[in-house]
A and B are shown apart, each in its own frame.
Chain A
């Protein structure tokens, strides 16, 4: 279905090749995962399949790409619209019309399909993704998961032979992500659609894919069965790390398989729970805060106390009120009722009484789009700015950044950094003033495992050594399992669970991390937990 023969790609005004001498073949009805570090050219590779690269972006393409018998070199992306459906990273910015039905019809109208065919296909696509009840809704009012499903449906109405998806689950909560993957699985198995997707959260997709295309740091690529490819890379999901750590006979792509081989440790090892962390004094307390409008309540009387040195994860489905809670805690959103008070040296002071200047010293905030904070032209300038803002000796922030990430060049432009590097820069800036409270909104989106490990190490060190209180809203159960001491669950603006990460994650099957699924019913969330249990049994 898709054949790449000796493909190389170089973008204009660039001296390095994005892809070099890549050859592979994907057959009909296969589901292939493209994986690699951030910036390894995954997105470029995906967009080569329907010719957006180089027709739309410019650049020089070497070699030949044949999709369903057509060469993308000679065929424009528009002419491939009926063959290749592409779903980008951010579906909301790819929608052209206002309502669900109109959006589905858009592509077919452009290709001048007769109205009766269109109606049939719209119905079909709505059923395939389960959006039939939302057909006349305005797109802006859909949840993240619904938008992602709509984006897939807009590709499906064209009856494509190939479906290309760039990080389809990165913005979704675990439940919505399961729904999307189940749809893809069905397409591959029932309709023999060829699916090519890129995804960083391997734990979510690894059980579904037939083959993996791995792009390594040096540009070398290989394609093969998951079990074969995962043997050779460091970018592996927790389940593979688990089977490696326990030296099992399987590589570990499915829960069922690894479960079978790890029976012994589940039987013999003692629970040996992780030591419960004793946090310090209260840093901030939210007292029965509510927020939202009459018709839509974002938060309903939520009370919360965050303490020194404690890492708290805030979880819940898209639209559960996580963002509202975070915005209230940093003082951007004034709650309609309730109060927020600081503890510690500011004992009892209400957030409204603390000046914005003081607040920015107390609270470090990492927004969902870290790039929002950056506006200077080099990394060094951004760091100097931060030194001045916090009245620090010149070079302090840059030194902190280098400690986090030695490879970063001070002269590079913040826009040219990878997601992981940009997050490190923003963290260095936010932490420069040694805030007592660090708040992160969805920090792991678009991060590969390496960058994620770096983030986890930093959070842990900050919390334990400097006593910073950390609150992190995230959909990423794996990072929660690794670093969070405490997990809070929101649903429909209400706090439905608040306890140690172990209790909360084990209680909810949908939000359980991969290792916990394998080791159920034993109380282990991470590879570290399992190893601790193992060593204490010996």
Chain B
């Protein structure tokens, strides 16, 4: 299958993101993630970025949880149905209006859940865009005038997926050394060293191959918008408009 234009899905998911934020509605957010999941299922690419949608879902879920917990503990009191009460910590008088603990109302919980859900959705949509279009492809259509930015972004996007595999490799090795779960600090040192070395190495390789030498870049294959690119982009715009109008 001929690949899509690199911007197609980024345009689609960016407009969905705008729509989800504007609509601020849990149902809309959930259906956007559902739609994204379908697109990822059909169009995901091979290679290390394939999994980024799954990872972003996990990250989103963690964030949602954190948001729900902090929402219950801290915040401005809201009147409504009391679900349960947690012990309240008394704060000095000069901090009026803020409270820690106390009554947890349904309104308070649902509003923080919704906020968390919107944030998680934005992250998931970003992950979905990465899953269907490798960031490398996106970078290749950057004009080479912004050379430094191009190098930096390429390094960041290449080192990141390797980082994940390195973490598990180093963790396993250290686990076997001592039989204890290694701490973040002990993993971080070899990991940082390796990532730095990799980044320098990649920058060198790009320079040695003449990246940024010429003001204009030619294209091995012309990158054009095909009808199906336009289809997906317009789907994005239409649904975003609908969500904003909601």
Chain A interfacial positions (CB closer than 8 Å to B) = 47, 50, 52, 56, 76-82, 84, 86, 88, 90, 93-98, 101-102, 105-115, 118-119, 122, 138-141, 154, 158, 327, 330, 332, 355-361, 363, 365, 367, 369, 371-375, 389, 415, 429-430
Asked whether, in the complex, the Cβ of B208 is within 8 Å of the Cβ of A118, the reply is: no
Query: Given A86-B208, A96-B202, A118-B220 in contact, is the A429-B177 Cβ separation under 8 Å?
Result: yes
Q: Which residue of B lies closest to A139 (CB)?
A: B47
Q: Is the interface of A mostly helix, strand, loop or mixed?
A: helix
B134: chain A residues within 8 A (beta carbon): 98
**Residue B211 at the A interface, CB < 8 A?**
yes
- Give the distance in Å from the alpha carbon of A22 to the alpha carbon of B179 in the complex: 49
B177: chain A residues within 8 A (beta carbon): 360, 365, 373, 389, 429-430
Q: Which residue of B lies closest to A331 (CB)?
A: B176
- Bitwise, B194-205 to A at CB < 8 A (1) or not (0) is 100010011111
Chain B's interface size range is: 35 or more
Asked whether, in the complex, the Cβ of B220 is within 8 Å of the Cβ of A105, the reply is: yes
Asked whether, in the complex, the Cβ of A375 is within 8 Å of the Cβ of B186, the reply is: yes
B204: chain A residues within 8 A (beta carbon): 47, 52, 56, 77, 88, 94
- Give the distance in Å from the alpha carbon of A161 to the alpha carbon of B198 in the complex: 27
Asked whether, in the complex, the Cβ of B47 is within 8 Å of the Cβ of A140, the reply is: yes
Asked whether, in the complex, the Cβ of B190 is within 8 Å of the Cβ of A356, the reply is: no
Query: Given A371-B190, A371-B193 in contact, is the A138-B202 Cβ separation under 8 Å?
Result: no
- Give the distance in Å from the alpha carbon of A102 to the alpha carbon of B219 in the complex: 10
**Residue B217 at the A interface, CB < 8 A?**
yes
Asked whether, in the complex, the Cβ of B180 is within 8 Å of the Cβ of A141, the reply is: no
**Residue B28 at the A interface, CB < 8 A?**
no
144-175 of chain B: CB within 8 A of chain A? 144, 154, 158, 162, 169-170, 172-175
Query: Given A98-B136, A101-B220, A112-B216 in contact, is the A363-B176 Cβ separation under 8 Å?
Result: yes
Query: Given A110-B217, A365-B173, A367-B169 in contact, is the A96-B158 Cβ separation under 8 Å?
Result: yes
- Give the distance in Å from the alpha carbon of A360 to the alpha carbon of B173 in the complex: 10
Could you write out 20 A-B pairs with CB less than 8 Å apart?
Answer: A56-B204, A78-B207, A93-B162, A94-B205, A96-B206, A97-B136, A98-B47, A102-B220, A105-B221, A109-B220, A110-B209, A111-B210, A115-B218, A140-B46, A327-B172, A359-B179, A369-B169, A371-B194, A373-B190, A375-B187
Asked whether, in the complex, the Cβ of A110 is within 8 Å of the Cβ of B213, the reply is: yes
**Residue B87 at the A interface, CB < 8 A?**
no
Asked whether, in the complex, the Cβ of B137 is within 8 Å of the Cβ of A81, the reply is: no
Query: Given A112-B214, A375-B186 in contact, is the A360-B202 Cβ separation under 8 Å?
Result: no
Asked whether, in the complex, the Cβ of A113 is within 8 Å of the Cβ of B218, the reply is: yes
Asked whether, in the complex, the Cβ of B202 is within 8 Å of the Cβ of A114, the reply is: no
B237 CB → nearest A CB, Å: 28
Asked whether, in the complex, the Cβ of B179 is within 8 Å of the Cβ of A356, the reply is: yes
- Give the distance in Å from the alpha carbon of A358 to the alpha carbon of B206 in the complex: 47
Asked whether, in the complex, the Cβ of A78 is within 8 Å of the Cβ of B208, the reply is: yes
- Give the distance in Å from the alpha carbon of A385 to the alpha carbon of B176 in the complex: 14
A357: chain B residues within 8 A (beta carbon): 179-180
- Give the distance in Å from the alpha carbon of A143 to the alpha carbon of B140 in the complex: 25
- Give the distance in Å from the alpha carbon of A489 to the alpha carbon of B174 in the complex: 28
**Residue B185 at the A interface, CB < 8 A?**
yes
A330: chain B residues within 8 A (beta carbon): 176
- Give the distance in Å from the alpha carbon of A56 to the alpha carbon of B216 in the complex: 23
Query: Given A81-B213, A82-B210, A330-B176 in contact, is the A108-B218 Cβ separation under 8 Å?
Result: yes
- Give the distance in Å from the alpha carbon of A529 to the alpha carbon of B158 in the complex: 48
Query: Given A94-B201, A96-B202 in contact, is the A356-B175 Cβ separation under 8 Å?
Result: yes
Query: Given A93-B198, A96-B136, A96-B205 in contact, is the A372-B220 Cβ separation under 8 Å?
Result: no
Asked whether, in the complex, the Cβ of A332 is within 8 Å of the Cβ of B176, the reply is: yes
Q: How many A-B residue pairs have CB under 8 A?
A: 174
**Residue B189 at the A interface, CB < 8 A?**
yes
A88: chain B residues within 8 A (beta carbon): 201, 204-205
8 closest Cβ contacts across the A-B interface? Answer: A81-B210, A360-B179, A105-B220, A94-B205, A357-B179, A112-B214, A107-B209, A138-B46
- Give the distance in Å from the alpha carbon of A84 to the alpha carbon of B205 in the complex: 12
Q: Which residue of A lies closest to B216 (CB)?
A: A112
B48: chain A residues within 8 A (beta carbon): 140
A105: chain B residues within 8 A (beta carbon): 220-221
**Residue B45 at the A interface, CB < 8 A?**
yes
Query: Given A371-B190, A372-B174 in contact, is the A81-B208 Cβ separation under 8 Å?
Result: yes
**Residue B212 at the A interface, CB < 8 A?**
yes
Q: Which residue of A lies closest to B178 (CB)?
A: A389
- Give the distance in Å from the alpha carbon of A114 to the alpha carbon of B172 in the complex: 48
B152 CB → nearest A CB, Å: 13
Asked whether, in the complex, the Cβ of B220 is within 8 Å of the Cβ of A77, the reply is: no
A78 in complex: contacting residue of B45, B194, B210, CB < 8 Å: B210
A119 in complex: contacting residue of B169, B185, B220, CB < 8 Å: B220
B140: chain A residues within 8 A (beta carbon): 97, 102, 109
Q: Which residue of A lies closest to B188 (CB)?
A: A375
- Give the distance in Å from the alpha carbon of A374 to the alpha carbon of B182 in the complex: 12
B172: chain A residues within 8 A (beta carbon): 327, 332, 367
Of the candidates B172, B178, B190, B219, the one having the most CB atoms from chain A within 10 angstroms of its own CB is: B178
A81-B213, A102-B140 provided; 6 other pairs, C-beta below 8 A?
A77-B208, A78-B207, A110-B214, A141-B47, A355-B179, A360-B177
Asked whether, in the complex, the Cβ of B209 is within 8 Å of the Cβ of A112, the reply is: no
- Give the distance in Å from the alpha carbon of A83 to the alpha carbon of B246 in the complex: 60
- Give the distance in Å from the alpha carbon of A109 to the alpha carbon of B221 in the complex: 10
- Give the distance in Å from the alpha carbon of A158 to the alpha carbon of B202 in the complex: 18
- Give the distance in Å from the alpha carbon of A332 to the alpha carbon of B172 in the complex: 7
B195 CB → nearest A CB, Å: 10
- Give the distance in Å from the alpha carbon of A287 to the alpha carbon of B204 in the complex: 47
- Give the distance in Å from the alpha carbon of A81 to the alpha carbon of B198 in the complex: 20
Asked whether, in the complex, the Cβ of B179 is within 8 Å of the Cβ of A374, the reply is: no
B218 in complex: contacting residue of A50, A112, A371, A389, CB < 8 Å: A112
B22 CB → nearest A CB, Å: 33
A118: chain B residues within 8 A (beta carbon): 218, 220
- Give the distance in Å from the alpha carbon of A190 to the alpha carbon of B198 in the complex: 34
Q: Which residue of B lies closest to A360 (CB)?
A: B179
- Give the distance in Å from the alpha carbon of A88 to the alpha carbon of B71 in the complex: 52
Q: Which residue of B lies closest to A330 (CB)?
A: B176
- Bitwise, B68-92 to A at CB < 8 A (1) or not (0) is 0000000000000000000000000
- Give the distance in Å from the alpha carbon of A429 to the alpha carbon of B46 in the complex: 39
Asked whether, in the complex, the Cβ of B220 is within 8 Å of the Cβ of A122, the reply is: yes
- Give the distance in Å from the alpha carbon of A360 to the alpha carbon of B175 in the complex: 8
B29 CB → nearest A CB, Å: 31
A162 CB → nearest B CB, Å: 12
Asked whether, in the complex, the Cβ of A52 is within 8 Å of the Cβ of B154, the reply is: no
Asked whether, in the complex, the Cβ of A109 is within 8 Å of the Cβ of B208, the reply is: no
Asked whether, in the complex, the Cβ of B220 is within 8 Å of the Cβ of A365, the reply is: no
